[in-house]
Amino acid sequence: MSKTNPIVLRSRAALVGAATELLDEREAAAVSVKDVCERAGMSRPTFYQHFADLGALFASAGLARLAGDLDGLEPGGSLVGTFTASVDRMLPHLEFYCRISAGPGGQLFQAELVRHRALRLRREPALAVWGERDDVFWEFLAAGWVWVMTRHLHAVRAGEPSDVTPGLEAVFGVVLTSEPN
Which pLDDT belongs to residue 85? Answer: 87
Its pTM stands at 0.88
What's the average model confidence in pLDDT over 36-54?
Answer: 96
All domains of the chain in start order, with CATH = 6-58 (1.10.10.60), 61-177 (no CATH)
pLDDT for 75: 67
pLDDT tens digit string along 153-163?
999 999 998 88
- pLDDT band for 52, please (50, 70, 90 cuts): very high
Return the ∠ at Cα 104 (arms to 53 and 35), rounded to 5°: 60
Segment among 14-18, 24-28, 51-55, 147-151 with least mean pLDDT: 147-151
User: Measured between alpha carbons, how far is 78 from 125 in angstroms, rounded to an integer?
Assistant: 9
Q: Please determine, for residue 2, whether its predicted confidence score (pLDDT) is greater than 70.
A: no
* Mean pLDDT within 54-79: 88
The string of pLDDT tens digits covering residues 75-116 is 667 788 888 888 899 999 999 999 999 999 999 999 999 998
Measure the CA–CA gap between 168 and 138, rounded to whole angstroms.
16
Quote the mean pLDDT of the chain.
90
